[in-house]
Amino acid sequence: MTTPPEPAKAFPPTAVLGLGLMGGAIALRLHRQGVGVIGWNRTAEKTRPLAGEGLPVARHLQDVLLPARVILLVLSDARAIEETLFSAVTAPLLAGKTLLQMGTIAPEESRAIGERLTLAGGHYLEAPVLGSLPEAFSGNLIVMTGGDRVLHERLLPLLSHLGKAIRHIGGVGQAAALKLAMNQLIAGLTASFSLSLGLVRAEGLEVDSFLELLRQSALYAPTFDKKLANYLSHDYARANFPLRHLLKDIHLFERVAGLRGLDTGLPATLAAACQRGIEAGDGEADYSALYEALTRKA
């Protein structure tokens, strides 16, 4: 029999809005750590497995916003956040609340949300994360915060349940920018390795020899081995991060990079490859299905 966790001491009621793959994992992690957490999702039927885990899930958004003092946002994009938080019904309920924005959005979108929340009488800290479902469930996410450092320090006891590496990056928008930089690397590394592996296989070379040499070089990245079984089996069904979400993030990076005067040719190419994969039916598959979009002809 499993001993229930001790309730988190002196921590205010906490809500998680957005119970998709990552939001559900974050909510369950907090719940299992003894944090008094309640969840809500725009699509109610997707929350049934979480309710089966004993996680309280509210049907109506107001039932979450009223009791919660800290609200974690794990919604799909900035539009979803604005539609959820700033309606005529919900905006008046935000006074005195602290919002942690944990999804991947553009820096200017994060700043706009923070400004609207401040006008509503709330407090805002962006806290995007690196890692996928295993890291979320084990509390080993990398957490990057942007905003007031005092608020960062105040929320460390909560964030420490989710990650061992928690770094204050700077002002609002700067952690969001860093998260986009990281996610561009996800796409770039996946695409580059996919093409190299595709050539190796097309030439009939031994994959083991390729990897043995690669691991001994400065070119190696652990993500190559992490997703290798997917590439070799052509099986991407177990998605920790779906391809359609990667496409959304690459589009964000492309837009933000363009505004800063950076070359957007590479992200545009990556986005086109992701789009081909989605059109081939891999939108809900793991992002490593990008391999198929880049090597299908080979």
| pLDDT surpassing 50 at residue 297 | yes
The reported pLDDT for the residue numbered 45 is 77
Q: What string of DSSP letters covers 6-33? A: PPPTT---EEEE--SHHHHHHHHHHHHT
| Residue whose tokens read 């198929």 | 292
| pLDDT surpassing 60 at residue 78 | yes
From residue 150, alpha-carbon distances to 17, 88, 113, 147, 167 in Å are 24, 30, 19, 9, 13
| pLDDT surpassing 50 at residue 3 | no
The reported pLDDT for the residue numbered 10 is 55
**Arithmetic mean of pLDDT over the chain:** 94
The reported pLDDT for the residue numbered 231 is 98
User: CA torsion, points 232, 272, 144, 7, in degrees to nearest 10?
Assistant: -60
Predicted confidence (pLDDT) per residue in 259-285, tens digit? 999 999 999 999 999 999 999 999 999
Amino acid letter at 203?
E
Q: 14-23, 41-50, 140-149, 187-196: lowest mean pLDDT where?
A: 41-50
CATH dotted code for 14-171? 3.40.50.720
At residue 226, φ and ψ (nearest 5 deg) are -60, -35
β-pair type (129-130, 123-126): unpaired
The reported pLDDT for the residue numbered 92 is 94
Signed CA dihedral, 184, 190, 191, 193: sign only? positive
The reported pLDDT for the residue numbered 7 is 45
Confidence of residue 6 (pLDDT cuts 50, 70, 90): very low
| C-alpha–C-alpha distance, residues 290 and 279, integer Å | 12
Q: Is residue 183 within 8 Å of residue 176, measured between CB atoms?
A: no
Predicted confidence (pLDDT) per residue in 232-261, tens digit? 999 999 999 999 999 999 999 999 999 999
Predicted confidence (pLDDT) per residue in 207-228, tens digit? 999 999 999 999 999 999 999 9
From residue 220, alpha-carbon distances to 211, 229, 233 in Å are 9, 16, 21
The reported pLDDT for the residue numbered 8 is 46
User: CA torsion, points 208, 211, 216, 220, in degrees to nearest 10?
Assistant: -170
Signed CA dihedral, 216, 222, 224, 226: sign only? positive
Fold: same for 14-171 and 177-295: no
Domain ranges, ordered by start, for the chain: 14-171, 177-295
Tokens of 29: 């992690």
| Residue whose tokens read 């190419």 | 269
Share of the chain above pLDDT 70, in %: 96
Sequence-ordered strand ranges (E) for 83-153: 98-101, 123-126, 129-130, 141-147
Q: Is residue 247 within 8 Å of residue 271, measured between CB atoms?
A: yes
Q: Which CATH architecture has domain 177-295?
A: Orthogonal Bundle (1.10)
The reported pLDDT for the residue numbered 12 is 74
| C-alpha–C-alpha distance, residues 151 and 27, integer Å | 21
